[in-house]
């Protein structure tokens, strides 16, 4: 299993409020997570940094204790790790006035030898590339996604919609949070991409698919995707994590 991530401020923003973490407790087990923070100049950084650290530490600890065999209980472990991250961010925001209202998205994957579990809150995304096809696994929790689902705008219009930054779920803004969890089969040669909206707002799924199809190392794929975002002006922070079995 090869895992690689990078994050970049982009060409417009003054600071980077995205964070990512990669943990590999053993050869056949990977934990990857991307958070896109919000809430003031410094607070967004704090929310995303605490989010990736709290989530990956909690899930790594569960892995060390031994993963349960059944999928439902593995999904519950992911949700539990997300709740831990939510609670830590929420408490920090409650205790520190300068962090009031901060929050973050979270998209994460627990990658095993032939399956992966994905957790998602907000509009950072997980894609699965398998047998020549790109599948978006996570569904955005955003205002524009709701408009797309109601047929009021097209996915293409969503990409440039003035309200595209408004998310309907976040971590750290309330005591509880609703979490989506998915399970996918994962074959040799498949790839997973986790990314913030700084990538997907400027690079289309077709282009992402073309890059993932190339038989190159995850590090090169991640750098190529960042370069494409930069070429489009990178108006937002860009974070990309690529996993290859």
Determine, following the binding rule CB under 5 A, whether residue 211 of this chain makes contact with Ca ion.
Answer: no
Task: Kindly tell me which residue out of 8, 60, 197, 211 binds Ca ion, with binding defined by CB under 5 A.
Answer: 197
Q: How far is CA 208 from CA 187, 197, 212, in A?
A: 19, 13, 6
Q: Which stretch binds Ca ion (CB under 5 A): 35-43, 86-94, 170-178, 186-194?
A: 35-43
**Pick from 3, 16, 31, 36: which binds Ca ion (CB under 5 A)?**
36
Cβ closer to Ca ion: 87 or 235? 235
When the beta carbons of 173 and 244 are compared against Ca ion, the nearer one is 173
Which residues is 187 bridged to in the sheet? Answer: none
Residue 23 or 125: the one with the smaller Cβ distance to Ca ion is 125
Spatial CB neighbours of 102, under 8 Å, sequence gap ≥ 6: 37, 38, 39, 40, 43, 44, 46, 47, 89, 92, 93, 172, 173
Of the candidates 143, 161, 220, the residue with the CA atom closest to the CA atom of residue 228: 220
Question: With respect to Ca ion, which residue has the nearer C-beta, 11 or 29?
Answer: 11
Half-sphere exposure of 53 (CA within 13 A, CB side): 8
Give the nearest distance from C-beta 199 to Ca ion in angstroms: 9
Query: Which stretches of the chain bind Ca ion, using CB under 5 A?
Result: 36, 196-198, 236
């Amino acid at each position: 299993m090869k895992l690689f991530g990078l994050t970049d401020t982009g060409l417009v923003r003054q600071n980077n409020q995205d964070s990512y973490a990669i943990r590999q407790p053993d050869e056949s087990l990977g934990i990857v997570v991307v958070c896109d923070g919000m809430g003031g100049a410094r607070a967004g950084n704090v929310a995303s940094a605490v989010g990736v650290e709290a989530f990956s530490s909690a899930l790594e600890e569960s892995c060390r204790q031994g993963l349960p065999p059944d999928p439902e209980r593995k999904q519950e472990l992911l949700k539990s790790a997300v709740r831990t991250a939510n609670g830590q961010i929420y408490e920090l925001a409650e205790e520190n006035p300068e962090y009031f209202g901060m929050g973050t998205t979270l998209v994460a994957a627990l990658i095993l030898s032939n399956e992966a579990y994905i957790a998602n809150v907000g509009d950072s995304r997980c894609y699965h590339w398998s047998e020549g096809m790109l599948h978006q696994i996570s569904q955005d929790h955003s205002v524009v996604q709701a408009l797309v689902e109601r047929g009021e705008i097209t996915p293409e219009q969503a990409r440039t919609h003035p309200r595209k930054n408004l998310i309907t779920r976040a971590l750290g803004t309330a005591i509880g949070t609703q979490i989506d969890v998915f399970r996918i089969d994962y074959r040799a040669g498949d790839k997973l991409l986790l990314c913030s909206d700084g990538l997907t707002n400027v690079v289309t799924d077709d282009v992402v698919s073309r890059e993932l199809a190339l038989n190159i190392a995850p590090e090169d794929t991640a750098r190529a995707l960042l370069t494409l975002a930069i070429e489009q002006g990178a108006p937002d922070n860009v974070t990309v994590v690529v996993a290859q079995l």
